[in-house]
Amino acid sequence: MEIGIGESPNIERLRLASENNIRYTGCDFAEVCDAHAAIIRQNEGINYENTRFLRNRVGTYSWTLFELLKRSEQFDIIYLDGHHTFYVDCSAVMLAHLLLKPGGVFLLDDIRWTLQFMKNLLMSSFREWNFYRKMYDFSQYDNHQQSLPHVGMLAETILIDRLKYSKLDAYSTPDWWALKKPSLYMLLASLANVLEDVTIYC
């Protein structure tokens, strides 16, 4: 599953997924999903039956993720490349964690991205400004918060420090992290250790 699919689809990646019979789910604004679907239909080698887009007409993709959670859906790989901001992606990170299978891989892009970087980009590129101008409200964050890497903070503090994900260094770069969710065995072992500590304490 890809959360936040951007302006245009990665055709080669989708074609490779089709060749290996991998199902793809993309989550984004309705107009973005519709544009992706139209482009994909024009390209050979992509199994459209294995490709679905889940659209949010208002709000964010967090509502979409919550609906998937209610349906007990789970995924082997989740790629978050969405809004990149704390108030949008904090809930998305937690929901994606619940949707990811034990032992699955959580991919996060733009680890060092900041709102200050986006502000500079919008001021320097009309194309970027035209696409993103309605998507960001800088007034929600003070100057210090705008300079912080929100995705990196969420990945490190929540996924690695609290939920015990491990970084797959062979597939990670400073701006792109591949994190492995603990397996069911590891989760049970951690729970057993906690219960043992509670028993000793009591």
**Per-residue model confidence as pLDDT tens digits over 123-134:** 888 877 877 677
pLDDT confidence of 153, banded at 50, 70, 90? very high
Helices assigned H by DSSP within 101-158: 115-124, 126-132, 143-146, 150-154
- Token pair of 73 as six digits: 């859906």
Q: CB within 8 A of 118, min separation 6: which ones?
A: 84, 132, 136
d(CA 182, CA 15): 30
Q: Does the domain spanning 2-201 belong to CATH 3.40.50.150?
A: yes
Enumerate the domain spans of the chain. Answer: 2-201
pTM for this prediction: 0.86
Q: Is the pLDDT of residue 187 over 70?
A: no
Better-predicted residue by pLDDT, 169 or 50: 169
d(CA 177, CA 13): 18
Instruction: Report the Cα–Cα distance between both ends of the chain, in Å, rounded.
Output: 43
- The residue to which tokens 């699955």 are assigned: 104
* CA 87 to centroid of chain Cα atoms: 14
pLDDT digits 0-9 by tens, 67-100: 999 999 999 999 999 999 999 999 999 999 999 9
Percentage, residues of the chain above pLDDT 70: 91
pLDDT digits 0-9 by tens, 103-125: 999 999 999 999 999 888 888 88
Handedness of CA 46, 37, 124, 92 (dihedral sign): negative
**58 exposure class (CB count in 10 Å sphere: 0-12, 13-18, 19+):** exposed
- Token pair of 62 as six digits: 């967090």
Please give the helix or strand (H or E) that residue 61 lies within, else none: helix 61-70
Q: Is 133 helix (H, G, I), strand (E, B) or coil?
A: coil
Average pLDDT of the chain to the nearest whole number: 90
Task: Determine the pLDDT at residue 44.
Answer: 84
Task: Determine the pLDDT at residue 125.
Answer: 85
Task: Determine the pLDDT at residue 124.
Answer: 87
Mean pLDDT within 13-30: 93
CA distances from 1 to 27, 68, 85 (A): 8, 11, 19
